[in-house]
Structure 1
Amino acid sequence: MNDGVSEQRDALLARVVDYYAEHGVRDTSLRTLAAGIGTSQRMLHHHFGNRADVLTAVIDAIAGSQAEQIRDLFAREQDPFEAGRRNWVDTLAGAEKFGALWFELATHAMRGEPYAADLGRVMVETQLREFTRVYATRTEATTAAHLARLTLAVGQGLVFDYLIDRDRDAADAAVLHFTEMVRRELAAPGNP
């Protein structure tokens, strides 16, 4: 793609993501989506293809950045626990806008929608890989993998709960408690 077309597509995708974040995906047609973001159905077809292709692009846009965020944050921050705290803050900030959409698309993957087939790789595998890599600097491979999966599950569960009950204090307290549990695990005899 030339830069102009790529920039147009990226700008259009940002509007699509914002629309879905505000209204949900549901059974929104391309015609309704186009009207909602101030473009034509033809432009959506031109840049993305059909509705499934639009949703695939949305999944890539909102989920793909999460693993990059984790990798970059842990690369910049010397203290992995501080990086984890900052990741929680950043994740919750993103969830304010995109959380409901994220979980809605997760249900599409659970139902086997073809356009959401890659969500497992993006939502689970890439984040697990990054968390495992970080933990592997402090413990052996099997424990690192288990802690990575536990970290992802706890984080996603707490985001889900927060989006429903909006109890930020309780979510933050749970993250702190979980962090202390991990700290003790990593300080246990046998860990480097």
Structure 2
Amino acid sequence: MAEPREELLQKAIGYFAEHGVRDTSLRTLATAIGTSQRMLHYHFGSREDLLVAVIESVIEADAAMLTELFASEPDPFEAGRENWRITAQHAQTFGALYFELSSHAMYGKPYARDLGDAFVTRTQAAFEAAYAQLTDAPTARRLARLTLAVGQGLMFDMLVDGDRAASDAAIEEFIAMMRTHLAR
């Protein structure tokens, strides 16, 4: 009985989140997730195609969550606070994978070439739309980029030093600064 593509994809994401991508072969991955290399080839083609599917799946889920969050919460600062809470929680599982795949994009790996659009452009656009409710378009664009950078930086620090409380406190300070800045 063949496993559906989505089930294999979720198992691969779980494996990579726990162990990293590194130089994991399809054979090693197949053994680890309880399938065959043939099934991975059938559903994904190559290792690189599987990594594209992993990236797309993680990004789509994050983008959908962020879009829904900003659409359902009328206060963009509260939405931002909730986004941080969810992001920090997910980072415990997927953070290292996020940064590992980001480094693949920095090194110009072909399968990671769309990561900039996924990790930066789409996320920045969601923040920009939230800020556009409060300020002009050029300011919203700058604040969105700043917000993305602060969140990514704090996530990185939290993953490296394990100090979630310090990152949470820094986010609270950032939210207060943004409220003050936009109230002027």
Give the TM-score range, shorter chain.
over 0.9
Q: Which amino acid aligns with 1:90?
A: I
Corresponding pairs, count: 183
How far did 1:67 drift? 1.8
Which letter does structure 2 place at the counterpart of 1:164?
A: V
How many angstroms apart in 2 are the aligned matches of 1:84 and 1:42? 43
State the partner residue of 1:179.
175
List aligned pairs for 1:17-56, cutoff 5 A: 17-56=13-52
| Shift in Å, 1:64 | 2.1
1:95 partner amino acid: A
Q: 1:93 aligns with which of 77, 89, 92?
A: 89
Structure 2 runs not aligned, ≥5 long = none
Long gaps (5+) in structure 1: none
1:70 matched to 2:66 = yes
Q: CA RMSD in A?
A: 1.1
For 2:93 and 2:59, the matched residues in 1 are separated by: 13
Q: Which of the residues 98, 117, 121 maps onto 1:125?
A: 121
Hey, what's the Cα distance between the residues in 1 that align with 2:137 and 2:23? Answer: 43
> Which of 86, 105, 108 is the equivalent residue of 1:109?
105
1:160-171 equivalent positions in 2, closer than 5 A: 160-171=156-167
Displacement after TM superposition at 1:70 (Å): 1.1
Alpha-carbon displacement from aligned partner over 1:70-116 (angstroms, at most 9, x marks no partner): 11001111211111111000001111100000100000000000000
Work out the CA distance in 2 between the residues paired with 1:68 and 1:156. Answer: 18
Q: Which amino acid aligns with 2:11?
A: R
2:143 corresponds to: 147
1:157 & 1:98 partners in 2: Cα distance? 15
Percent of aligned positions that are identical? 57
Question: What amino acid does structure 1 have at the position aligned with 2:52?
Answer: T
Give 1:168 shift.
1.2
- C-alpha separation in 1, matches of 2:28 and 2:61: 27
CA distance in 1, matches of 2:92, 2:26: 25
- Cα deviation, residue 62, structure 1: 1.2
